[in-house]
């Protein structure tokens, strides 16, 4: 019996059946296609014909279970196998059911629909007037009618055999013209009158006055991170149960494009370390590194005025930064996950939008990036509170640095030729040996990491379904119009490949690794790989002088979700440093 392909919904149960017969009798085993099967040491060579039947059951199916499975039959004389594919469907992902409706899937027909909850209403008279301005036999039947007809509300506006007096809807726009810059958010607000209370839909119109889309509901329309396409007329449409009376008002929103990128007032070399982990040196050498230790990221190799260490810990298939320590005049300040600033074993409190200075380092925090500038050193550090740090050095300080970030001499092929005045010389340009030469290993426990092998064509190996999802998610980097503006200064290729790798293997970002999280985030509780990589790229570009504000308007990267996720994986904090409005 050959196992057949199976299609099941998320949360369901999959069952494969397989049977084989041989002389001597076979052993049967089910494994994932990418798993290794070791042939048993058959001791019994009895020539009696035998047969085996085996069921392979997987409960509580998630998308990570999708893929090819092998049924292998083996005896002392040989081995045969056959394959079957497990397809996992989540048809409800495409539906947004309006409460109290819930999504119900029909896997055989591959359709899903929003269904009202089953209710048996009593046949007891208790007449009520619903928000549709009609009298219903009792509240239960009104709730059922409201659900089946997708009414905006199931509110009861009156009791008895007659409805109260109904007045037509009216709406007033509080602001009729608004101008914001690309990437900024905006709000439109209206007031309504009428009985029963009107419901409000917000419509987006094109230049001809035709409706493009229904973009919101309620008295306030909030748009976070407006793209250029968000410009135009918005209409607030108020309705209640008087079908013949619809009242609407409009407002015009102008979106001003970001300025054309210009050269920064001062030139900088930037080292970017992010993810699992990916390193872009001052001179543009790019490599992946899987060391698990503390390393010198960059330092002043002439006078040791400043040193920046990075602590790399296990993180999915490789490692990633858990903290960055800045030494200025031999006094350490540690930047930990969740934007925790640790000095002398104590957390230093700070708040979004208020600059502060500690140990000759001027800090600012914008709610997402903690930036520190070392006074008089021409050095800036930006920390995303997760696993990414950018270290930038003024160009007039070239040829004075060493560490994992390189020697900053405008040559990407000689990073091993480090300055020797203070520290030591790396012995190899091979990524694992080069990075490992900058370890700080007083206990002698750090070992030479293996080189990271990666094929961008099939980033998740034989898990082709996950590879497809990885490419789909990371494509948003390539298509982002704001990030494209920086393409002449900083290639997106390394960041795109890094996105693919982290999607497949970085367990800290998503539950169960790469693509097992919900939608574009999970694991690290709501941190999507493509958003995290895009932020590392955007920060790098900003330092180079290319404005990147608004990049997240073209991707689904909620600021609040990222902040909340970091608090779940960092040390506890009594007061978060960011502000919520």
Residue 474 lies in a domain: yes
Please indicate whether residue 538 or residue 24 has the higher confidence score (pLDDT). 538
User: To 10 degrees, what angle do helices 493-505 and 529-544 make?
Assistant: 150
3-state secondary structure of 166: coil
Residues 6+ apart with CB under 8 A from 346: none
State the pLDDT confidence band at 561, using cuts at 50, 70 and 90: confident
Q: What is the pLDDT of residue 524?
A: 39
The stretch 497-509 carries a mean pLDDT of 85
Which tens digits make up the pLDDT trace of 177-232? 999 888 788 999 999 999 988 989 999 998 888 888 899 989 999 988 788 888 99
Taking the C-alpha atoms of residue 553 and residue 507, their distance in angstroms, rounded to an integer, is 26
Beta partners for residue 51, in sequence order:
21
When divided into structural domains, the chain yields a total of 4
Residue 344 Cα to chain centre, angstroms: 33
Please indicate whether residue 128 or residue 34 has the higher confidence score (pLDDT). 128
Looking at the fold, whether 182 and 84 belong to one and the same domain comes out as no
Q: What is the pLDDT of residue 45?
A: 52
State the pLDDT confidence band at 42, using cuts at 50, 70 and 90: low
Q: What is the pLDDT of residue 43?
A: 61
Residues 6+ apart with CB under 8 A from 45: 24, 76
Residue 99 lies in a domain: no
Pick the last residue of a domain from 99, 133, 164.
164
| Strand residues in 23-151 grouped as ranges (E) | 27-32, 50-58, 67-75, 78-89, 102-106, 111-115, 128-130, 135-136
> Would you tell me how many other CB atoms lie within 10 Å of the CB of residue 343?
14
Residue 324 lies in a domain: yes
* CA angle (322 as vertex; 65, 457 as ends), nearest 5: 40
Q: What is the pLDDT of residue 87?
A: 87
Looking at the fold, whether 248 and 267 belong to one and the same domain comes out as no
Taking the C-alpha atoms of residue 362 and residue 352, their distance in angstroms, rounded to an integer, is 14
Looking at the fold, whether 174 and 71 belong to one and the same domain comes out as no
Closest listed residue to residue 224, CA positions, set 485, 525, 560, 579? 560
Cβ-count burial 262-285 (b if 16+ within 10 Å, e if not): eeeeeebbbbbbbbbbbbbbbbbb
Q: What is the pLDDT of residue 172?
A: 93
Looking at the fold, whether 349 and 371 belong to one and the same domain comes out as yes
Residue 465's H or E segment, with its range, is helix 464-479
Looking at the fold, whether 365 and 505 belong to one and the same domain comes out as yes
Closest listed residue to residue 544, CA positions, set 485, 473, 476? 485
Looking at the fold, whether 332 and 447 belong to one and the same domain comes out as yes
Residue 530 Cα to chain centre, angstroms: 6
> Poorest-confidence range of 15-19, 48-52, 404-408, 529-533?
48-52
Residue 538: pLDDT over 60 = yes
297, 309 contact by CB (below 8 A): yes
Instruction: Looking at mean pLDDT, say which of 240-249, 417-426, 514-523, 533-542 comes out highest.
Output: 533-542
Q: What is the pLDDT of residue 1?
A: 61
The stretch 144-157 carries a mean pLDDT of 87
Residue 564 lies in a domain: yes
The stretch 504-523 carries a mean pLDDT of 48
Residue 97 lies in a domain: no
Residue 288: pLDDT over 70 = yes
The stretch 5-16 carries a mean pLDDT of 88
Q: What is the pLDDT of residue 444?
A: 85
Instruction: Looking at mean pLDDT, say which of 132-136, 206-210, 238-242, 300-304 comes out highest.
Output: 132-136
Residues 6+ apart with CB under 8 A from 102: 114, 115, 117
346, 319 contact by CB (below 8 A): no
Looking at the fold, whether 467 and 495 belong to one and the same domain comes out as yes
Q: What is the pLDDT of residue 543?
A: 94
Residue 340: pLDDT over 50 = yes
401, 393 contact by CB (below 8 A): yes
Residue 108 lies in a domain: no
Go through the chain and tell me how many residues it has: 581
501, 459 contact by CB (below 8 A): yes
DSSP 8-state class, residue 265:
S
Pick the last residue of a domain from 91, 124, 156.
91
Which tens digits make up the pLDDT trace of 435-471? 888 999 888 888 888 777 788 888 988 888 888 899 9
The stretch 97-107 carries a mean pLDDT of 86
State the pLDDT confidence band at 517, using cuts at 50, 70 and 90: very low
Would you call the peptide bond into 67 cis, given omega within 30 degrees of 0 as the criterion? no
Taking the C-alpha atoms of residue 395 and residue 3, their distance in angstroms, rounded to an integer, is 64
Q: Domain span at residue 387?
A: 263-581
| Ramachandran angles phi, psi of 81, nearest 5° | -150, 160
Residue 167: pLDDT over 80 = yes
* CA angle (201 as vertex; 200, 206 as ends), nearest 5: 140
State the pLDDT confidence band at 49, using cuts at 50, 70 and 90: low
Looking at the fold, whether 138 and 155 belong to one and the same domain comes out as yes
Q: What percent of the chain has pLDDT over 90?
A: 42
> Would you tell me how many other CB atoms lie within 10 Å of the CB of residue 144?
18
- 68: domain CATH number is 2.60.40.10
Taking the C-alpha atoms of residue 422 and residue 302, their distance in angstroms, rounded to an integer, is 6
Pick the last residue of a domain from 256, 273, 288.
256
Q: What is the pLDDT of residue 329?
A: 84
Taking the C-alpha atoms of residue 428 and residue 411, their distance in angstroms, rounded to an integer, is 15
The stretch 267-294 carries a mean pLDDT of 91
Q: What is the pLDDT of residue 457?
A: 86
| Strand bridging mode 246-256 / 177-181 | parallel
The stretches of 247-370 forming alpha helices (DSSP H) are none
- 129: domain CATH number is 3.30.60.30
Residue 101 lies in a domain: no
Residue 160 lies in a domain: yes
Q: Which tokens hold the place of 404?
A: 């994992």
Q: Which tokens hold the place of 472?
A: 């789909």
Taking the C-alpha atoms of residue 301 and residue 360, their distance in angstroms, rounded to an integer, is 19
Measured over all CA atoms, what is the biggest interatomic distance in the chain, rounded to whole angstroms? Answer: 94
> Would you tell me how many other CB atoms lie within 10 Å of the CB of residue 203?
18
| Strand bridging mode 220-223 / 232-239 | unpaired
> Would you tell me how many other CB atoms lie within 10 Å of the CB of residue 195?
17
Looking at the fold, whether 216 and 269 belong to one and the same domain comes out as no
Taking the C-alpha atoms of residue 542 and residue 537, their distance in angstroms, rounded to an integer, is 9
Residue 479: pLDDT over 50 = yes
Looking at the fold, whether 384 and 428 belong to one and the same domain comes out as yes
Residues 6+ apart with CB under 8 A from 317: 276, 290, 504, 505, 506, 507, 513
Residue where the block lists tokens 């990036």: 369
Looking at the fold, whether 29 and 139 belong to one and the same domain comes out as no
Residue 405: pLDDT over 50 = yes
Looking at the fold, whether 419 and 521 belong to one and the same domain comes out as yes
3-state secondary structure of 432: helix
Q: What is the pLDDT of residue 529?
A: 92
Q: Which tokens hold the place of 245?
A: 């009376």
Q: What is the pLDDT of residue 452?
A: 74
Beta partners for residue 363, in sequence order:
356, 372
Closest listed residue to residue 290, CA positions, set 506, 430, 429, 449? 449
């Amino acid at each position: 019996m050959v196992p057949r392909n199976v299609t099941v919904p998320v949360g369901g149960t999959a069952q494969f059946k397989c049977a084989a017969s041989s002389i001597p009798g076979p052993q049967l085993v089910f494994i994932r296609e990418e798993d290794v099967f070791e042939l048993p040491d058959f001791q019994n060579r009895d020539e009696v014909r035998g047969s085996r039947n085996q069921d392979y059951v997987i409960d509580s199916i998630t998308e990570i279970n999708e893929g090819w499975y092998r049924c292998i039959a083996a005896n002392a004389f040989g081995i045969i196998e056959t394959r079957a594919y497990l397809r996992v469907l989540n048809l409800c992902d495409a539906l947004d059911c309006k409460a109290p409706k819930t999504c119900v899937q029909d896997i055989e027909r591959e359709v899903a629909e929003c269904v009202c909850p089953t209710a048996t209403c009593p046949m007891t008279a208790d007449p009520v007037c619903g928000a549709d301005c009609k009298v219903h036999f009792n509240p239960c039947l009104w709730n059922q009618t409201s659900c089946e007809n997708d009414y905006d509300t199931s509110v009861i506006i009156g009791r008895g055999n007659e409805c109260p007096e109904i007045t037509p809807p009216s709406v007033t726009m509080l602001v009729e013209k608004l101008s914001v810059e690309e990437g900024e958010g905006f709000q439109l607000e209206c007031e309504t009158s009428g009985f029963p209370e009107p419901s409000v839909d917000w419509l987006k119109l094109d230049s001809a006055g035709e409706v493009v889309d229904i973009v919101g509901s309620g008295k306030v329309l909030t748009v976070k991170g407006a793209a250029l396409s968000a410009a135009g007329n918005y209409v607030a449409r108020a309705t209640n149960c008087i079908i013949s009376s619809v009242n609407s008002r409009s407002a015009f929103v102008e979106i001003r494009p970001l300025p054309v990128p210009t050269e920064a007032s001062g030139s900088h070399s930037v080292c970017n370390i992010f993810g699992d982990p990916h390193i872009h040196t001052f001179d543009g050498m790019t490599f992946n590194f899987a060391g698990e230790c503390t390393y010198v990221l960059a330092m002043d190799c002439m006078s040791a005025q400043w040193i920046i260490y990075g602590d790399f810990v296990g993180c999915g298939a490789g490692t990633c930064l858990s903290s960055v320590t800045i030494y200025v005049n031999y006094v350490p300040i540690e930047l930990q996950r969740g934007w925790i600033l640790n000095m002398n074993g104590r957390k230093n409190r700070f708040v979004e939008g208020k600059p502060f200075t500690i140990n000759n380092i001027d800090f600012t925090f914008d709610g997402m990036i903690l930036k520190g500038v070392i006074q008089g050193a021409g050095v800036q550090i930006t920390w995303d509170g997760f696993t990414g740090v950018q270290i930038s050095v003024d160009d007039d300080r070239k040829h004075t640095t060493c560490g994992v970030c390189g020697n900053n001499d405008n040559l990407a092929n000689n990073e091993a030729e480090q300055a020797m005045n203070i520290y030591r010389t790396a012995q190899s340009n091979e990524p694992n040996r080069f990075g490992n030469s900058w370890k700080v290993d007083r206990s002698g426990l750090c070992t030479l990491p293996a080189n990271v092998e990666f094929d961008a064509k099939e980033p998740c190996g034989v898990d082709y379904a996950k590879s497809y999802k990885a490419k789909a998610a990371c494509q948003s980097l390539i298509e982002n119009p704001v990030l494209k503006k920086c393409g002449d200064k900083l290639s997106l290729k390394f960041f795109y490949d890094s996105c693919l790798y982290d999607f497949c293997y970085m367990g800290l970002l998503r539950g169960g690794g790469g693509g097992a999280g919900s939608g574009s985030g999970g694991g690290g509780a709501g941190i999507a790989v493509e958003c995290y990589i895009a932020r590392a790229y955007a920060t790098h570009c900003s330092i180079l002088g290319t404005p990147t504000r608004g990049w997240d308007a073209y991707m689904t990267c909620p600021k609040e979700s990222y902040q909340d996720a970091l608090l779940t994986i960092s040390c506890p904090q009594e007061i978060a440093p960011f502000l919520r409005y």
